[in-house]
Structure 1
Amino acid sequence: MNRLLLGSAVDVLRREITTGSVDMVYSDPPFGNEQVWAGKAGSFDDRWEWSAASAQGWEALNRHSAAAAALLAAVARTAPARAYLGVMAGIVTELRRVLKLTGTLWLHFDDTMGAELRLLCTAIFGPGLEAGTLVWKRTLGGHANAKSFGRVHDTIACYARSPAALWRLWRLGTIGGDPCSPGWEYRFDTFAEAAPLAQGDKERVGYPTQKPVALIEELIRAATLRGNMVLDPTCGSGTALVAAQRLNRNWTGIDLSPDAIATAEKRLEIARPKQAAFDFGEVA
């Protein structure tokens, strides 16, 4: 049930992941900020050029919503931005396919391409199926400059595969109120405790942009039950997979980098399931 798969997300999803087989997707993809990120355990390139994957993604987006595709094409004024959004459209289209009707996508991004990604996901999943967004304060300070404020947070947006997935979140206790009405409140009692990793934190493995396990555990508890399948199509060092394993969920991880797969494999070898982990859904 648990697999680490090497390759591009779209290709592996199409080849290896069955339609309607996944309960939750967590993805912390490259943010489209045109940088090369490097650490002692590996690196990844967040620079983008037009490719066949970009073209195929734009075609898929246009099939879902020609209006959204036209709007995104108008606001994505640079060639790298258009290339990036095309690849992400292809990935999100495949993620929607592999989710169960009760499944959810949790997409992690910053404000580099955040507005564009939210429009893209709404076009692909359909109106009314964004379950909400969470703000994670990832640093205590930010370096402002003449052109922008300092960046101190990331956003995690949740998209439901169908109305049944919204009801499932409500039954698991993740959201309060009527899931058919606006103004829901997320019930994350410990979310604020998922602090960013300090430079010398023993959890760090040397892979760039690594997130804390506690952060992903909070999301997995909110969206799944024990034995459910969690997929991370851009798994990096495997943080989401470690969180899933610790919480007794099944998992699948995909990454293009051999260094990422090797690092994730080492972490998963020593990650042990918790014997008595709290789950929102245990009383649902």
Structure 2
Amino acid sequence: EVIWGDAGEVRSFQDRWAGGISHYIDWLKERVEEMHRILKPTGSIFLHCDWHANAYIRVLILDKIFGEDNFNSEIIWERSFGTGSSKGGAKKIPVNVDSILYYNKNKNGYIFNLQTRPLNEGAMKRYDKVDADGRRFFWADMRTYSQERLNELLEKGEAKISPNAKNPRYKKYLDKNKGTPIDTLWNDFDFIGNNERIGYPTQKPEALLERIIKMASNEGDTVLDPFAGGGTTIAVADRLNRRWLGVDQSVQAIKVTEFRLQKQTDLFTAPYTVQLHKYDYDTLRYKDAFEFESWIIAQCGGTPQNKKGGDKGTDGKAADG
């Protein structure tokens, strides 16, 4: 754990988790249980981790809380920058990938919007013909179309039957091709540019969070980031017209997130609030026992930000954990 901006908050994994991986898993499991509780049936969770804990998190936390049947994918994010888990060595293979574990609340009803990559140069070359309207296309085999559909395309001049071809062929237009579907290897994100970089040690590229948010939510849905860090998820969710809620235990992290939001604010930006909670020992020590119980359960080790009013976080997605 490295928290940015305050030397007093910088602690190593070993110092923070004196009991080893089992203490870390116990700590995280309680928080994932709450994320699962407030997630809508249409929602999903994306939990980012590296090789130190990904197997433990999947088997001991996510499979147990969300259920094995609701496991969707393990996304492999190949980092081209930032904090590698290992520098390698004579007897060590360098590690430059992290896992993003993707689970759905309900495997039969979750939101999923297919994301695509632009066609590569080789695929573009296939569209080597141009019709009278200036649209690029190539002749593709027509194997699964019905006879009715074939007749319709023949009448439009968008299909043909060649004597030497096994199957009829039709015009496959470039402008109807949405691109190559995204698979589970994500290695197409560039370095974080100077206009995006804020100096946060574990900062993620905005393009990474944009893909996740677009894939698992629609405009107006709520994105929850319970470990907001440098605020990438919040900034991207705001830009994509999602409601959002961000939480972090570091006041400095909240201030950085607020600054990022201010930089992209315009006349059409919806209002948001920043809530910083501070408590003293005596206030908590002498609080009514039931009030204290409610308070301590409500704390996820964090400092909430709430956006666009409404109920907090009951609406949607948990992202960038």
Q: 2:262 aligns with which of 256, 265, 269?
A: 269
Which of 220, 241, 246 is 1:248 aligned to?
241
Residue in structure 1 matched with residue 76 of structure 2 by the alignment: 135
SS in 1 for 2:76: strand
Secondary structure of the corresponding residue to residue 246 of structure 2:
strand
User: Identity, % of aligned pairs?
Assistant: 33
Alignment of 1:73-112 (within 5 A): 79-112=19-52
The CA deviation at 1:154 is: 1.2
The CA distance in 2 between the partners of 1:272 and 1:212, in whole Å, is 20
1:280 corresponds to which residue?
none
How far off its partner does 1:90 sit? 0.6
**Change in CA separation of 1:91 and 1:46 when aligned onto 2, cut-off 3 Å:** farther
Q: Is the 8 A contact 2:48 2:98 kept in 1?
A: yes
> CA 1:243/1:41 → structure 2, altered by over 3 Å: closer, same or farther?
farther
Task: Check if 1:124 corresponds to 2:68.
Answer: no
2:97 paired residue number: 153
Partner of 1:221: 214
- Please give the TM-score of this superposition, normalised by the length of structure 2: 0.55
Structure 1 residues 42, 191: CA separation in 2 closer, same or farther (over 3 Å shift)? farther
* Residues 43 and 104 of structure 1, relative CA distance in 2, 3 Å threshold: same
Of 37, 43, 47, the residue aligned with 2:13 is 47
Q: Structure 1 runs of 4+ off > 6 angstroms?
A: none
Match in the other structure for 1:188: 182
Higher Cα radius of gyration: 2
Matched pairs, number: 199
Contact 1:44–1:257 at 8 Å: present in 2 too?
no
Q: Distance in 2 between matches of 1:101 and 1:191?
A: 26
> 81-90 vs 39-48, which deviates more?
39-48
Counterpart CA distance in 2 for 1:236 and 1:42 is: 16
Distance 1:196 1:128, change over 3 A: farther
2:201 to 198, 208, 213: 208
Q: How big is the shift at 1:82?
A: 1.5
Contact conserved, 1:40 with 1:206, CA < 8 A, in 2?
A: no
What is the aligned partner in structure 2 of residue 173 from structure 1? 114
CA distance in 1, matches of 2:105, 2:26: 21
Under a length normalisation based on structure 1, what TM-score does the superposition of the two structures give?
0.62
Farther-moved stretch of structure 1 (224-233 vs 264-273): 264-273
Map 1:58-73 → 2, pairs under 5 A? none
2:228 and 2:246 in contact (8 A); partners too:
yes
Shift of 1:195: 2.4
Distance 1:222 1:209, change over 3 A: same
Contact 2:227–2:246 (CA under 8 A) maintained in structure 1: yes
What's the Cα RMSD here? Answer: 3.1
Question: Unmatched 5+ residue regions in structure 2?
Answer: 117-179, 269-321
Deviations 1:121-172 (A, max 9, x none): 1111112101112111113686213563211011111111112344x32xx3
1:233 equivalenced with 2:226 (yes/no): yes
The letter for the 2-side match of 1:118 is R
1:177-230 per-residue CA deviation (whole Å, 9 max, x = no partner) reads xxxxxxxxx9328954322426xx331112111011111001100011001000
Corresponding residue for residue 141 of structure 2: none
Amino acid corresponding to residue 161 of structure 1 in structure 2 = K
Q: Identify the range of structure 1 (225-234 vs 123-132) with the bigger mean alpha-carbon deviation.
A: 123-132
